[in-house]
Every structure is written in C-alpha cells, then in structure tokens.
Amino acid sequence: MAAKKIAVVIGSLRKDSLNRKFAHEVIALAPPSLAFEIVEIGELALYNQDLEENGATAPQAWTHFRQRIKDVDGVLFFTPEYNRSVPSPLKNAIDVGSRPYGSSVWSGKPAAIISMSPGATGGSAPTTICASRWCSSTCRCCSSRKPISAAPPTCSDRTAS
C-alpha cells in the first residue's frame, strides 16, 4: 500500500527552532506507511485579498503552497506559542490555505498539532486555540489540548536532506 503523504508545517521560522528539530526527530521515527514532507511557509506573502481578486493572479508561492497541501493525506503542525497564540507566519499560512472562499485546502483534511516551548505551560495556547477554534472547524483535527512536553527533550541537530 502506498505511504500516506503527510505535510509537516512548522510555525517557527527560526534556524535553530526546537519545533523544527523535533519535527525532524518525528520524521526520522516515522514508519514506512507515512511519507512526511516539510512544507515551508516563510516565503508566503502576507495574505491580502487584493493580490488574487478582481482579476489579480495569486502569488505563485500561495498557489504552490495550496497545491502541496491539497496533495497530501494529512497535515502535522509543529509550532511554538507566541504571545499566547500561534506565530504570525503560521496564522498567515492558515489564512492563505483557507482562500479563495469556498476552496479551503484545509477543509476535511486530517490534522494534528504538536506544540513545544521551553516555558512550563508553553504550547498550551496554540494547541488549544488551533484545535478548538480553527482546526476542528475546518480540518479533522486531533489534539490532546495539552502541550506534548512542558520540558522539551534534547533534540539532535538532525536536518532534512
């Protein structure tokens, strides 16, 4: 049976991001039935309807991102908490994927959120906010609504090839 394709979306753009390192650890542990691919969000222009409505052609990065999410069987988000919410690049990616109206690439897509932060309660806000307000209303999302780890494990410097 063909491996299920899972997009990995990382909320932090930081080079040494703990969430990115943890994503690579999870990818390395994946069984052959899952094929993970990191879908980058750092180059997505800030969402602005003017860029794709009234005759405008959507930025190529948006089109490419939407197609990559459409093409996968599920999405796994790794994100830190920023000011009790999700980092703006992740929110922007969610917005880009949700438009044009009626064509959201998230609709019905199985998804899960892993959030890691050095703070003792870090990660609880994004998982809660995303799971309860956004993700469960659009994706088929599972979340424990708790940070997966209040004390981040030591991650190697593994990087994707």
Ligand X SMILES: Cc1cc2nc3c(=O)[nH]c(=O)nc-3n(C[C@H](O)[C@H](O)[C@H](O)COP(=O)(O)O)c2cc1C
Q: Which residues bind ligand X (CB under 6 A)?
A: 12, 14, 17-19, 80-84, 117-119, 122
Burial of 29: CB neighbours in 10 Å, binned 0-12, 13-18, 19+: exposed
Residues 6+ apart with CB under 8 A from 41: 9, 10, 11, 13, 65, 89, 90, 92, 93
Closer of 9 and 18 to ligand X (Cβ)? 18
Shortest distance, position 14 Cβ to ligand X, whole Å: 4
Shortest distance, position 148 Cβ to ligand X, whole Å: 13
Shortest distance, position 108 Cβ to ligand X, whole Å: 28
Residue 88 φ then ψ, to 5°: -60, -35
Closer of 66 and 91 to ligand X (Cβ)? 91
DSSP-derived letter for residue 142 is: E
Q: Which amino acid is present at 6? A: I
Closer of 89 and 97 to ligand X (Cβ)? 89
Position of minimal CB gap to ligand X: 122
